[in-house]
């Protein structure tokens, strides 16, 4: 019965749509491709727009797509959430793929170098498209070898989030500003029971490749060559090893971490008070509202190493972006839609969905953005001259993978930071040529 009903509704809907579209009615009524019907009837170009975003961000994008579709008649965008990067890559390698999609700025180098992405420079010049409103560092991530391959929609900086109650309990007045204050806070906020088991960790283990930036570390030099053995990187790793790993024990830390709940759930260790501080992005504003509304929390700028005050405001930067693949069949229409996506109204709707930071300067002081609790810390980081990124190179994925292995050896005390990074430097010379 219910199956029949569903069929009837679908059929009626198809027929109604078909009727509105005249010639397409028969196609739709016969159950043939509705998309074909729409395109044929209205002379509209259909753009395939699969995107990796899911959840609230995916829903927000679908709303943007709807608004776009009703705002004009020449282009019909077919948006669908498809969070599978393998499939995305496979589609771009064939002769028939999609027309526009999203990714992270960190992929631009790897993809552009393989000819996957369409450069946007000629279109920008032809349209006299204004790029000055984009956050400069966010726009820079979309460039490879002097050409622009994507436009950013969201900018991701990080901040030090802290549990107010736990800091007060430990007698710490506010978030640490320098790394020596951070070491102090970690010592005061980490608790171990009589059996040597950790019951509370001062700082959740951050991404150590990002953590290196707080010590003036860099993963590539000005010439774009990998520099894993940069002294700042070594200093950061030594800080983590000395302040946490050696002090509390590799196995004890792992055992404690194995009891952490899912990241996007009320069992996130920061929400349950298992860790007192964590380094994370602005979406935590929305996450905490949803998963731990009772939590009293604050956020501070990331601390910087004591002897380099010029690093104040330091933060890693990543970006969410949109691009047109080389094998797009409708790249002109995709460009029109791309501009719409990163235009102010769409960007604001999308970024507010999960408290991301917009990638346009003029939106950074929009009241809807600044109304988010504690967002000023992430915004300040975004305006800082000390925004750092992992190198956007053709070999970035391999570098990241090798680095993960090396960092693993360091945090397991299998190798000293000096040894591990020297070995990695040698290996990267082979990979990066």
Question: What residues between 71 and 90 interact with other proteins by CB under 8 A?
Answer: 86, 89
Q: Which of 235, 339, 398, 416 binds other proteins (CB under 8 A)?
A: 398
Q: In Å, what is the CA distance from 390 to each residue of 41, 104, 215, 302, 320?
A: 48, 12, 15, 17, 15
Please select the residue that binds other proteins; options are 121, 251, 310, 419, rule is CB under 8 A: 251
To other proteins, the closest distance from the beta carbon of 16 in angstroms equals: 40
97 or 175: whose CB is closer to other proteins?
A: 97
Determine the Cα–Cα distance for residues 178 and 214; give it in Å rounded to an integer: 9
Asked if 255 touches other proteins (CB under 8 A), the answer is yes
Contact between residue 149 and residue 143 where contact means Cβ atoms under 8 Å apart? yes
Shortest gap between Cβ of 258 and other proteins (angstroms)? Answer: 4
- What number of H helices and E strands is found in the chain? 21, 15
Pairing of strands 315-316, 318-323: unpaired
Nearest-approach distance from CB 104 to other proteins, in angstroms: 10
**Footprint of other proteins on residues 89-108 (CB under 8 A)?**
89, 92-93
In the stretch 291-330, what mask flags binding to other proteins with x, by CB under 8 A?
-----------------------------------x----
- Under the binding rule (CB under 8 A), the answer on residue 258 touching other proteins is yes
146 scored as a contact of other proteins (CB under 8 A): no
Please identify, among the stretches 226-234, 292-300, 371-379, 392-400, the one whose residues bind other proteins according to the rule CB under 8 A: 392-400
Q: How many angstroms separate the CA atoms of 352 and 360, rounded?
A: 13
Cross-strand partners of 198: 192
CA angle in degrees (0–180, nearest 5) for 384-230-320: 45
Which residue, 232 or 316, has its beta carbon nearer to other proteins? 316
* Residue 338 CA: distances (Å) to CA of 64, 129, 180, 354, 364: 11, 12, 45, 20, 21
Contact status: 116 vs other proteins (CB under 8 A): yes
CB of 12 or CB of 414, closer to other proteins: 414
Q: How many CB atoms within 10 Å of residue 429?
A: 11
Stretch that binds other proteins, among 216-224, 236-244, 254-262, 299-307 (CB under 8 A): 254-262
Give the burial string for 406-421 (b: 16+ CB within 10 Å, else e). bbebbbeeebebeebb
Q: How far is the CB of 362 from other proteins (least distance, A)?
A: 31
**Sequence-separated (6 or more) residues with CB below 8 Å from residue 422:** 229
Binding of other proteins by 257 (CB under 8 A) = yes
| CA pair distance 73, 133, nearest whole angstrom | 28
Residues lying near other proteins in the complex (CB under 8 A): 86, 89, 92-93, 110, 114-116, 251, 254-259, 263, 326, 397-398, 400-401, 404-405, 408-409, 412, 414, 430
């Amino acid at each position: 019965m219910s199956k029949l009903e569903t069929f009837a509704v679908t059929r009626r809907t198809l027929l109604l749509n078909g009727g509105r579209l005249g010639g397409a009615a028969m196609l739709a009524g016969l159950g043939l491709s509705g998309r074909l019907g729409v395109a044929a009837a209205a002379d509209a170009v259909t753009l395939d727009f699969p995107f990796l975003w899911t959840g609230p961000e995916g829903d927000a994008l679908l709303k943007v797509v709807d608004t776009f579709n009703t705002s004009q008649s020449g282009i019909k965008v077919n948006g669908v959430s498809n969070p599978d990067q393998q499939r995305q890559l496979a589609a771009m390698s064939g002769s028939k793929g999609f027309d526009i999609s999203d990714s992270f700025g960190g992929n631009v180098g790897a993809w552009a170098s393989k000819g996957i992405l369409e450069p946007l420079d000629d279109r920008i010049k032809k349209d006299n498209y204004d790029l000055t409103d984009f956050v400069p560092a966010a726009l820079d991530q979309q460039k490879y070898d002097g050409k622009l391959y994507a436009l950013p929609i969201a900018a991701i900086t990080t901040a030090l989030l802290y549990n107010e109650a736990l800091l007060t309990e430990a007698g710490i007045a506010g978030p640490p500003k320098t790394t020596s204050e951070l070491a102090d806070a970690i010592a005061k906020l980490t608790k171990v029971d009589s059996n040597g088991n950790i019951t509370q960790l001062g700082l959740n283990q951050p991404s150590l490749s990002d953590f290196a930036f707080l010590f003036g570390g860099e993963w590539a030099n000005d010439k774009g060559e990998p520099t894993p053995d940069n002294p700042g990187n070594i200093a950061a790793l030594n800080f983590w090893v000395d302040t946490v790993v050696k002090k509390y024990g590799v196995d004890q830390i792992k055992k404690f971490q194995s009891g952490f709940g899912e990241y996007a759930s009320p069992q996130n260790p920061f929400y349950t008070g298992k860790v007192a501080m964590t380094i994370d992005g602005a979406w935590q504003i929305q996450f905490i509202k949803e998963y731990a509304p009772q939590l009293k929390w604050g956020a501070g700028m990331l601390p910087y190493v004591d002897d380099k005050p010029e690093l104040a405001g330091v933060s890693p930067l990543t970006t969410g972006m949109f691009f047109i693949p080389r094998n797009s069949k409708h790249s002109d229409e995709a460009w029109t839609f791309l501009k719409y996506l990163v235009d102010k109204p769409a960007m604001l709707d999308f970024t507010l969905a999960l408290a991301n930071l917009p990638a346009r300067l003029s939106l950074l002081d929009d009241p809807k953005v600044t109304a988010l609790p504690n967002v000023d810390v992430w915004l300040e980081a975004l305006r800082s001259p000390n925004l750092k990124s992992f190198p956007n190179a053709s070999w970035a994925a391999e570098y990241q993978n090798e680095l993960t292995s090396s960092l693993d050896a360091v945090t397991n005390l299998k190798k000293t930071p000096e040894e591990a990074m020297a070995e990695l430097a040698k290996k990267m010379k082979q990979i990066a040529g």
